[in-house]
Amino acid sequence: MSMDESSKPEKMISRRQMVGLGAGLAAVAVTPAFAEGAADKTKGSTAQPMVDVTTKYPRPPYDATQQAWPGLASKMMPPPDHGEKSYKGSGRLLGRKALITGGDSGMGRAAAIAYAREGADVCINYFPTEEPDAQEVVALIRAEGRKCVAVPGDLRVESFCNLLVQKAVDGLGGLDIVVSNAGRQHSVPNIADMTTELFDWTMKTNIYAPFWIIKAALPHMPPGATIIATTSEQAYDPSPDLYDYAQTKAATMNFVKSLAKQLGPKGIRVNGVAPGPFYTPLQISGGASPQKFMDFGGKYPLGRAGQPAELASVYVQLAAQDATYTTGNIYGAGGGMGQP
């Protein structure tokens, strides 16, 4: 027999109330544990605070004090940011072995610091007069408990390029990342003033050296290895005063696409990075006129030049094992101009 409403006990709890009460008790029970788990997941996070990217770094006008080639980052005012203090690693390249040309400054230095903090051992190459900058990089890499092999020399010499690869392999115990980054750039507004010596210097450094180094490195590189080349927005939108440099960067872009097809079946990936205007010694040691450098990047949407630290994570991503379907691609960092 069912009760009518008037005969139900005053404190009888309805089914709906019971469900609601149960859900509330369950929430009380799990909330502390859930909160603790959420805190654990953010512990050791490498995330950086969100900032206004237009004012994150110095804006023009820049100090255009010129240096003799190849220039030192440590003498620039202010010095470039390569991630010395800001880059935090998370073990993405643990156990990897990388050779980076031009590893003393610029994008090469940013990549070297990031690779070491991600767990890789690193060999850097640089021109002998860049020793002061190179030793700073060596100290930063070794501070992470990683091996560092420093090999100064002139990449325009084939025998040295072969020796460089061998020293990297011997010193690191193998080789599975090659970052072809070193480059020669000099501003010559009029082709009539471009000497054969300068033209040859650019071609040997930017085209011949990667050919020699990659050729020597490939026998040591296992499936899963990667090659990363530094090209430039100049490959897509060349400046009138960089006649020779722009040609070499277009060639770099194309060798990335060509080698990716050739080496893909061997399990070796090849990609490129194309910076826009970046604040490095390349610019104040003949790469740009003082007038151009003073407003370097000022007309770009972000209103400033890029800093090498802003490209470090791109070099890491292209080397990491969670990017294994990326090959034959060019990653740009152009400050808003859309190249590439």
pLDDT one-digit tens code per residue, 278-318: 999 999 999 999 999 999 999 999 999 999 999 999 999 99
User: Which pLDDT score, from 0 to 100, does residue 18 have?
Assistant: 40
CA 6/CA 84 separation, integer angstroms = 78
Q: At 338, is the pLDDT very low, low, confident or very high (cuts 50, 70, 90)?
A: confident
Q: Which residue has the higher pLDDT, 76 or 39?
A: 76
CA 26/CA 228 separation, integer angstroms = 52
**Per-residue DSSP letter, 128:** G
| DSSP sequence for 2-60 | PPPGGGS-TTPPPHHHHHHHHHHHHHHHHHHHHHHHHHHHHTT--PPPP--TTTSS--S
Contact between 277 and 302 under an 8 Å Cβ cutoff? The reply is no
80 has a pLDDT exceeding 60: yes
Handedness of CA 315, 317, 323, 325 (dihedral sign): negative
What stretches of the chain adopt beta strand conformation (E)?
97-101, 121-126, 148-152, 177-180, 226-230, 269-275, 330-333
CA 117/CA 224 separation, integer angstroms = 20
Q: What is the pTM of this model?
A: 0.87
Angle between helices 131-143 and 106-117 (to 10 degrees): 20
Q: What is the pLDDT of residues 133-144, one digit of tens each?
A: 999 999 999 999
Q: Which residue has the higher pLDDT, 98 or 29?
A: 98
Which residues, at least 6 apart from 249, have a Cβ–Cβ distance to it below 8 Å? Answer: 183, 206, 231, 232, 234, 235, 274
On average, the pLDDT of the chain sits at 90
Residue 26: how many other CB atoms lie within 10 Å: 10
Contact between 126 and 136 under an 8 Å Cβ cutoff? The reply is no
User: Which pLDDT score, from 0 to 100, does residue 46 have?
Assistant: 77
Q: What is the pLDDT of residues 190-234, one digit of tens each?
A: 999 999 999 999 999 999 999 999 999 999 999 999 999 999 999
Q: What is the pLDDT of residues 119-129, one digit of tens each?
A: 999 999 999 99
Contact between 141 and 148 under an 8 Å Cβ cutoff? The reply is yes
Least confident stretch, 37-46, 135-144, 175-184, 319-328: 37-46
Q: What is the pLDDT of residues 239-289, one digit of tens each?
A: 999 999 999 999 999 999 999 999 999 999 999 999 999 999 999 999 999
CATH number for 90-333: choose from 1.10.30.50, 3.40.30.10, 3.40.50.150, 3.40.50.720: 3.40.50.720
Q: At 3, is the pLDDT very low, low, confident or very high (cuts 50, 70, 90)?
A: very low
Contact between 80 and 307 under an 8 Å Cβ cutoff? The reply is yes
Q: What are phi and psi of 245, to 5 degrees?
A: -60, -45
Enumerate the active-site residues: 245
| Start-to-end Cα distance in the chain | 80
Count of helix runs (H) and strand runs (E) in the chain: 10, 7
24 has a pLDDT exceeding 70: no
CA 251/CA 25 separation, integer angstroms = 67
User: Which pLDDT score, from 0 to 100, does residue 43 have?
Assistant: 66
37 has a pLDDT exceeding 80: no
What ranges do the domains of the chain cover? Answer: 90-333
Residue range 107-117: average pLDDT? 98
